[in-house]
A and B are shown apart, each in its own frame.
Chain A
Amino acid sequence: MDTDDDFMSNVSSEEDMLPDDSDNDMSGDDDFDFDDEPDPDIDIQKDIGQQKRAAYDVPFTVHQPQDIQRQQDDLINEVNMILNISKEEAAILLRHFRWNKERLIEDYMDRPSQVLDAAGLSEKISGPPKLQVIPGFCCDICCEEEDGLESFALKCGHRYCVDCYRHYLAQKIREEGEAARIQCPSDGCNIIIDAKSLDLLVTAELTERYHKLLNRTFVEDKDTLKWCPAPDCQNAVECNIKKKDLNRIVPTVSCLCSHRFCFGCILNDHQPAPCDLVKKWLKKCADDSETANWISANTKECPKCGSTIEKNGGCNHMTCRKCKHEFCWMCMGLWSEHGTSWYSCNRFEEKSGTEARDAQAKSRVSLERYLHYYNRYANHEQSARLDKDLFHKTEKKMVQLQKESGMSWIEVQYLSSASKALQTCRQTLMWTYAFAFYLARNNLTEIFEDNQKDLELAVESLSEMFEKPVQDLADQKLKVDIMDKTSYCNKRRIILLDDTAQNLADGKWTFNVEFSTPSAGPSGSGARK
C-alpha cells in the first residue's frame, strides 16, 4: 500500500491550505460543519484519475464575489464598446437578456428601438442625470408644489420631487428587494432606473444594497452559476451541467469554503444517487418512514380484502370491518376452521392459515424492503452526524496526543484525515442505500452491492479504531492501521462512485421506478428565490 507517500502529499496540501483558512474570517467555532467537509479524494484521484477524469467528477469553477463583479464589468464593457451605448444602459440591456451577450448584440443590431423599448430604455439622448428646480412644478406623488422643490426625471421625462423618488427607491430596494427592474414611478411607464441615476438619488447604504441585489440577479439569471448554499458563504459555483444531463450524472461540486453540494439540486452531496431519485427518496421518507415503521410493528392485513387492521384489544376472533371476513389474529386462518379450540390458537398446520400467512408475508415484503434501505440510510445519516461531533473531540484528542506522546502537529494530522474520510464515506454510503432502493436487480446490482459492502465494512472498522482512547492512539501500530484504513476507505469510495457514475453515464442501470429526465417544467431544479 502506498499510504506513506499519499499521506505526505495529503498533509502538505493541507498545510498549504492552513493560512488560507485563517484568512477566511468565517472560521468561527461552529463553522466546522463546513470547514471540515472533507475532501479526501484529492490524494486518491492522483492514483486513479490523473490520466482521465473520474466518471463521477464534473468540471466546475468557484467564483468569489470580486470575480462575479469582474465578470459583469467585463461583459458590460464589451457591450458598451460594441454597441456604443452607455455602461448603465449596457447593464440594463444585459440583464434584460439574462446576460446572453450574443443574443443581445444580434437582436440589437436587427431592431434597436424594439430591443431598447422592451428592456425599459429610451432612445432619447440626454445629458448625465441631474436634479433640477423647475418653477411651477407640482409633484404628482406627494402633491407638494412649494418653490425651490428639487425634482428628478428619467429619460421618459416623468418628473417627481427628490423626496418622493428617494422614498420610492428605498421602498423598492429595502422592502421589496428589487434592483434590476425598478421602473419609473409613473403609471404604465416601463423605463428602468439606471445605476448612475440611482447613485445620485439615494444614500450610500442603499446603493450598496442595490449593487448586492444586482449581483444576485447576475448569478440567478445564469443557468451555469449557482450560489454556494453554505451559510455566510458568498461564493458562486460555475458548472456547465445542463438540467437534462441530471439523469446521467450527479454533479457534486465543492466550494472554496469546502462545502460540498450537488449543482443540480443544491442539496448536500448525494453521490451516487441522481437528483431525481434523491427527490423521490426524500419525499418517500418524509411521507412514509414513521408510518411504515408503525404499520409494520402494529398491524396485520385482513387475509381476504387486504385492509390494514390494528388489533386494539379483545380476543383473537377478528371480524374485518370492511369485508366481514372472520379470521384468527394469531394464525390468520379461517375462524370457522378453528372448531372448538376457540380463544386459544395452537393450530399451525391447516391450509387456510398457511395460505393466509403467505399472502400476508408477500404484502409485507415491499414494506420490509423499504424499511431495510431506510434503516441503513438513516443509520449512516446519524453516524455521520455523530462522527461530526467526534471531529470536535478529535481536535482535542490531537492536542492531547501531541502533549502525551511528543508527536508534532503534522504527525497527528492522520486523525483529522480519518475523521474527514469517515464523514465523506458515510455520506456516500447513506445515498447508496437510497440509490439501491430504486435499483432493479441484475448483475450490475450485485457488483454495486459488493462495492457497497466493502466500503461499509471498511468504514465501520475505521470508525471503531477512531474511537479508541487517546493513550491507545499514541501506539505507532494503531496509527499506521488508521492511516491504512483511511486510505482504503477513500479508495473504496472512489471505486464505488466511479463504477456507479460510469454505469449511470452509459445508461446501464435499470430502475424500478419511472426515472424521469428533469427536462421541461420547474420541478427539476431547487428553489428559486
Chain B
Amino acid sequence: MASQKRIAKELTDVTSNPPAGMTISLPDDSDIHKWHVTMDGPSETPYAGGHFGLIVRLPAEYPFKGPEITFATRIYHPNVTNDSEGSICLGPLKPGNWKPVTRLKSILEAIRQLLIEPQPDDPLEPRIADQYKNDRRDFEKTARSYVAQYAKGAVKFSDATGTEETTTKRSEPEQPRRMMGQE
C-alpha cells in the first residue's frame, strides 16, 4: 500500500520534531493507522494547564481520504461537540476540502490554533458559540471548569473509544459519520 510509506514518513517527522506542546504515540505499534496525540492547552487560553487527548484515525485510503480526528478528552469549545464523541469541525478535514498533500502535522497545528482562536461563526455547538461571542467571561469560566474536571493529570484515551481493540484491523474505511450535516 502506497500509504504506508507516507504515513511512516509523517510519523518519523512528527515524533522527531513534534508540533509545540504535543506528544505523539502509537497505541499499537503494529498499526500506524491510529495515533494518540496529547496536546497541552495553549497558555493564555482557558485551556491552559489542561492535557487533551486526541485520537487520529487514518483511513485505508489515506492520504486520498482525510484523517478522522476526535478529542478523547472532554472540552468546552464552540467547534468541538460537547459530548464523549469529541468531534471537531475543521475546514480542511471536511470531505470535499481535503487535499492529499496536506500533512497531519499541519492539521494538528490547526487544531491547536483552534484552541487559541475558536471559530464561533462555523460552530458545531451553536450555544457555546453564542456564549463565546456574547458572554466571553462565562464561556471562559465554564471552559476552565471543564479543564479542571476532565483535563488534569494523565490523558485517558480509553473511554471515547470503547471499540479500540476491534478497530486495530480496519479493512473498511470508517465513514466520518459524526461530521455529517456539518458541511
- Chain A interface (Cβ < 8 Å from any Cβ of B): 140-144, 158, 160, 163-164, 167-168, 171, 175-176, 178, 183, 185-188
Contact = CB atoms under 8 A, between A and B. Distances in A.
Contacts of B63: 141-142
A164 B100 contact: yes
Contacts of A178: 96
Given A167-B64, A171-B64, A171-B65, A144 B2 contact: yes
Given A185-B99, A185-B101, A187-B102, A141 B6 contact: yes
Given A185-B100, A186-B101, A142 B95 contact: no
Sorted nearest first, the 7 A-B pairs with minimum C-beta distance are A142-B2, A171-B64, A143-B9, A143-B6, A141-B100, A185-B100, A187-B101
B47 to A, nearest CB: 27
15 contacts: A141-B100, A141-B101, A142-B2, A142-B3, A142-B6, A142-B63, A163-B2, A164-B2, A164-B64, A167-B61, A167-B64, A185-B99, A185-B101, A187-B101, A187-B102
Contact of B99 (A143, A167, A183): A183
Interface string B93-128: 001100111100010000000000000000000000
A139 to B, nearest CB: 9
Contacts of B177: none
B169 interface: no
B5 interface: yes
A445 to B, nearest CB: 44
A517 B26 CA distance: 58
A167 B5 CA distance: 15
Nearest to B99: A187
Given A142-B5, A143-B5, A143-B6, A171 B61 contact: yes
Residue from the set B9, B63, B64, B65 with the largest chain A CB neighbour count within 10 Å: B64
A57 B85 CA distance: 54
A164 B5 CA distance: 13
A270 to B, nearest CB: 30
A164 B96 CA distance: 18
Interface in B48-79: 61, 63-65
B113 to A, nearest CB: 16
B99 A186 contact: yes
B67 to A, nearest CB: 14
Contact of B100 (A144, A168, A176, A188): A168
B181 to A, nearest CB: 14
Interface of A is mostly: loop
Contacts of A167: 2, 61, 64, 100
Interface residues of B, number: 16
Contacts of B9: 143
Nearest to A175: B65
A176 B95 contact: yes
Nearest to A166: B64
Nearest to B97: A183
Contacts of A175: 65
Contacts of B64: 164, 167-168, 171
Contacts of B2: 142, 144, 163-164, 167
Interface string B80-101: 0000000000000001100111
A164 B9 CA distance: 16
Contacts of A168: 64, 100
A332 B6 CA distance: 80
Contacts of A140: 101
Interface string B1-40: 0110110010000000000000000000000000000000
Residue from the set A142, A163, A168 with the largest chain B CB neighbour count within 10 Å: A142
Contacts of A188: 99
Contacts of A164: 2, 64, 100
A176 B102 CA distance: 18
Nearest to A170: B64
Nearest to A185: B100
A410 B106 CA distance: 75
A160 B95 CA distance: 21
A145 to B, nearest CB: 10
B82 to A, nearest CB: 28
Contacts of B6: 141-143
Given A142-B63, A143-B5, A171-B61, 9 more contacts: A141-B101, A164-B100, A167-B2, A171-B65, A176-B95, A176-B96, A186-B101, A187-B102, A187-B106
A158 B3 CA distance: 19
Contacts of A163: 2
B98 to A, nearest CB: 9
A186 B100 CA distance: 7
A518 B64 CA distance: 41
A143 B103 CA distance: 12
Contacts of B96: 176, 178
A171 B64 CA distance: 7
B5 A144 contact: yes
A176 to B, nearest CB: 6
Contacts of A160: 101
Contacts of B101: 140-141, 158, 160, 185-187
B130 to A, nearest CB: 23
A165 to B, nearest CB: 10
Nearest to A145: B5
A147 to B, nearest CB: 16
Nearest to B5: A143
A79 B5 CA distance: 45
Nearest to B3: A142
Contacts of B99: 183, 185-188
A183 B92 CA distance: 14
A175 B64 CA distance: 11
Contacts of B102: 187
A54 to B, nearest CB: 43
Nearest to B103: A187
Contacts of B61: 167, 171
B62 to A, nearest CB: 10
